[in-house]
Amino acid sequence: MSDPRPKRLAAPLRLLFAAVIGVSVGCVTDFVADDAADTLCTGEQIDCDGTCIEPETNDNCGDCGVACAPEEHCHDRVCACDGGLHRCDGTCVDFATDPQHCGECDHPCGAAQECVANLCVSM
């Protein structure tokens, strides 16, 4: 004869228990009806394949697996350019010297000009 008692906590009670535990440890696993594990992350953490991570790292910037380029860092969940560089067309450029982005994005200097201190000047 089978045991009539439930083998798992009722769903609302499981979620309450997971929330209480999650606040104290940062990340918990809740076993759902199909025996698959659901990861519940707390605070700003996000679930990346069952592991709670901070979405402010250079390897997981804003989402799982979103990596910043070597000249970038993660800031407010977005890859940002280092050292005063600016993002143009997906790359970091120096407005002061870049002849394709002189002073601003998509502002190329002419054929006989170079970018000096954010301005296109004749050579």
pLDDT digits 0-9 by tens, 92-122? 999 999 999 999 999 999 999 999 999 999 9
* 22 neighbors 41 (Cβ within 8 angstroms): yes
pLDDT digits 0-9 by tens, 23-62? 444 444 444 444 445 678 988 899 999 999 989 888 999 9
Write down the number of H helices and E strands in the chain.
1, 12
Tell me whether residue 118 is in a domain: yes
Q: Which residues contact 28 (CB under 8 A, 6 or more apart)?
A: 18, 21, 22, 39, 40
Tell me whether residue 121 is in a domain: yes
Which structural domain range is residue 116 located in? 84-123
Report how many domains make up the chain. 1
102 three-state secondary structure = coil
* 40 neighbors 51 (Cβ within 8 angstroms): no
Tell me whether residue 36 is in a domain: no
Tell me whether residue 102 is in a domain: yes
Which pLDDT value is given to residue 4? 52
Which pLDDT value is given to residue 103? 97
Tell me whether residue 44 is in a domain: no
Q: To which residue do tokens 């296109």 refer?
A: 120
Q: To which residue do tokens 């009806």 refer?
A: 33
